Amino acid sequence: MQTARWVTVMKPSFIREILKVTAQPGVISFAGGLPAPELFPVPELVAAFADALAGSGRQLLQYSPTEGDPGLRAVLSERLTERRVPAGPDDILLTNGSQHGLDLVAKALIDPGDLVLVENPTYLGALQAFGPYGPRIQPVESDEEGMLPGALADAVARERPKLVYVMPTFQNPRGTSMGAARRTAIAAVCRQAAVAVVEDDPYGELRYRGEEQPGIRSFWDQAIYLGTFSKTLAPGLRLGWVTAPPALMGALKLGLQATCLHVGTLTQRVAAMVLSSADYPIHLARLRQEYGRRMSVMLGQMESAFPAGTRWSNPDGGLFIWVELPDGLQSLDLFHLAVAQKVAFVPGQPFFVGEGGDSMLRLNFSNSTPAQITEGMARLGRAIAQLTGAGAPLGT
Ligand SMILES: Cc1ncc(COP(=O)(O)O)c(C=O)c1O
């Protein structure tokens, strides 16, 4: 059987391959971007599913409109607007998670050969989502805050891109964020050139310190915004949304209809109920407190366990810390030593378009307990020391 050309061009996700290795017993894994299952609001979801089915079961088990539950879109509109991501209910389309949102945006905008500009490093899953539509993907020079507006302006002037993809808040993989000035500048470049810009924001509500920043939509109402319940409720719900200008909404809906008609009716209603409940702010506060604690434990342990010259990001939220090894040491070499020590992470290279990331790695702190983080950082510190040639032999 002859598959489509994109299948042969696309590589399987390196992270998924790593996750197979790390599923072995006894491995402390900082590799995936998984939330803590012990923090899923299971009793609240049990009650909401039961109430929804008992109250409106026949309606909620039926097909429903493509754009999604009006109640959920109304609650989301209020919450987003409060968070300075202005959006009316009709600007919101429910999706099966933001990965689906990335696919829909690409489906609506990209013809084969179109140019997509991304930060470097960037979210691997976005590259995978765009891939089947045949774009040329080019990295834009980036620093700790993400994409550099000057470099973006140059790229836009040189070669008209179709789409710009950014993660301004708690970027995956760096964990770092754009300040207000950077956001304004990125929005201005895209607005002036009328180039579509996507803000992907799965982590914005997981802030542990610092001030919340405005969304790109607050500087340009044509900006696209992707949100998800994966990190604040549970990824297994597969529920997220695209916020888009009216001119794009028709194409997004057509794309969604073509793949799946609409997102699960019952799940959307349950999400609306949970979001509107008095317990939700308590749930969010608990997530922030516990993830913030895990991040602090990781940062503190890195300070004491990592050899001199190792550097790392110091995020205000999200789920990741980005590490740079000393003396150009290779994170892939470290990966093999670390796995032998039963500790895992994602090497930096797969997050880069083109060259880069060889000395870097991404650590997740949400899916390990503070005790696992402490032990895992000690193991990783020993593995880095061994790689530098300064450490005691592993196993001691
Ligand atoms: C930046 C980014 N975008 C999108 C996604 C996909 O999330 P979802 O579970 O909503 O599909 C992730 C998942 O980790 C992510 O990190």
Q: What's the start-to-end Cα distance of the chain, in Å?
A: 53
Q: List the residue whose alpha carbon is closest to atom 6 of ligand 1.
A: 99
Residue 182 has pLDDT above 60, yes or no: yes
Choice among 5-14, 36-45, 108-117 with the minimum mean pLDDT: 5-14
Neighbours of 340 (CB within 10 A): 12
pLDDT tens digits along 296-312: 999 999 999 999 999 99
Ligand 1 center to 230 CA (angstroms)? 8
pLDDT of residue 23: 77
Residue 384 has pLDDT above 50, yes or no: yes
pLDDT of residue 396: 42
User: Percentage of the chain surpassing pLDDT 90?
Assistant: 91
pLDDT level of residue 19 (50, 70, 90 thresholds): confident
Q: List the residue whose alpha carbon is closest to atom 16 of ligand 1.
A: 172
pLDDT of residue 21: 76
CB of 35 closer than 6 A to ligand 1?
no
CB of 359 closer than 6 A to ligand 1?
no
pLDDT of residue 168: 98
CB of 99 closer than 6 A to ligand 1?
yes
Scanning the structure block, which residue is given the tokens 């491995």?
27
| Ligand 1 atom nearest to 33, measured from its CA | 14
d(Cα 388, Cα 32) in Å, to the nearest integer?
26
pLDDT of residue 141: 96
CB of 364 closer than 6 A to ligand 1?
no
Ligand 1 center to 331 CA (angstroms)? 24
CB of 167 closer than 6 A to ligand 1?
yes
Ligand 1 center to 343 CA (angstroms)? 23
pLDDT level of residue 367 (50, 70, 90 thresholds): very high
pLDDT tens digits along 226-242: 999 999 999 999 999 99
CB of 200 closer than 6 A to ligand 1?
yes
- Across the range 129-145, mean pLDDT stands at 96
pLDDT of residue 393: 47
Q: Is the dihedral of CA 161, 245, 210, 319 positive or negative?
A: negative
Task: Supply the mean pLDDT for the chain.
Answer: 95
Put simply, whether the predicted model's pTM sits higher than 0.85 gets the answer: yes
CB of 125 closer than 6 A to ligand 1?
yes
pLDDT of residue 24: 83
CB of 119 closer than 6 A to ligand 1?
no
- Across the range 46-59, mean pLDDT stands at 97
CB of 131 closer than 6 A to ligand 1?
no
pLDDT of residue 20: 74
| Ligand 1 atom nearest to 239, measured from its CA | 10
pLDDT tens digits along 108-123: 999 999 999 999 999 9
